[in-house]
A = this chain, B = another copy of it.
Amino acid sequence: METKTISKLGGDGKMSSYTYDEYKRIVKEFHGSLAPGLLIGGFMVDLALKNLPGGQFFDAIAETKTCLPDAIQLLTPCTIGNGWLRVMNFSRFAITLYEKEKGEGVRVYIDTKKIEAWPEVRDWFFKVKPKKEQNYQLLLDQIADAGAGLCSMKKVRVRPELTGFHAHGSKIAICPSCGEAFKIKNGDKCPACSGENPYVD
């Protein structure tokens, strides 16, 4: 087995790389477990980073909320909290990194044809077998061997409304119901007091 590395794009725009073992260590620290999807995600982000278009500032899309957002957050400057990572809950196992201004980018996705060559990965991905019947070590071994070989890549251009540098322009008001501050968009009350409150009491 060749020794694979996983690229990282720093906040200073510089590329560095982790060994695969180092990547597994930070995955376990951040995510709590060596989730197969996050290990594959590392190779996906690596492939995208190696094929970035020109430009200085990049945004990211994760097309599922499972695992891939963490690969992006660990390996790029894009996080949920800084607004450069957008989770679009399509349940497609794909990521896109794109240049903020023009929207030109690269999308990496699991290729359902290529995955056929790796039976344990395929059965895990398509949920063919119950978890207890999966061979976890074989799954991890096949992921490590296959790397980005499970994926394909294409150039994309992101819709204009998802590009540019967005200011946080909304006005702030105090909700008359809960007394907390919120951004005025629709209605006088904050969204939680308008019916989306997640708390029973």
Contacts of A28 in B (CB 8 A): 11
Q: Is the interface of A mostly helix, strand, loop or mixed?
A: loop
A168 and B198 within 8 A (CB)? no
- The total of chain A residues at the interface (CB under 8 A) is 70
Interface 1/0 per residue, A162-198 and B, CB below 8 Å: 1000001011101100111111010000111000101
Q: In this assembly, does A29 line the interface, its C-beta being within 8 Å of a C-beta of chain B?
A: yes
A-side residues, CB < 8 A to B, are: 11, 28-33, 35, 38, 41, 61, 63, 65-71, 73, 77, 79-83, 87-94, 96, 103, 107, 109-110, 112, 125-127, 156-160, 162, 168, 170-172, 174-175, 178-183, 185, 190-192, 196, 198-201
Chain B minimum-CB-distance residue to A194: B90
B201 and A156 within 8 A (CB)? yes
B69 and A81 within 8 A (CB)? yes
Given A156-B199, A198-B61, is A32 in contact with B73 using a C-beta cutoff of 8 Å?
A: no
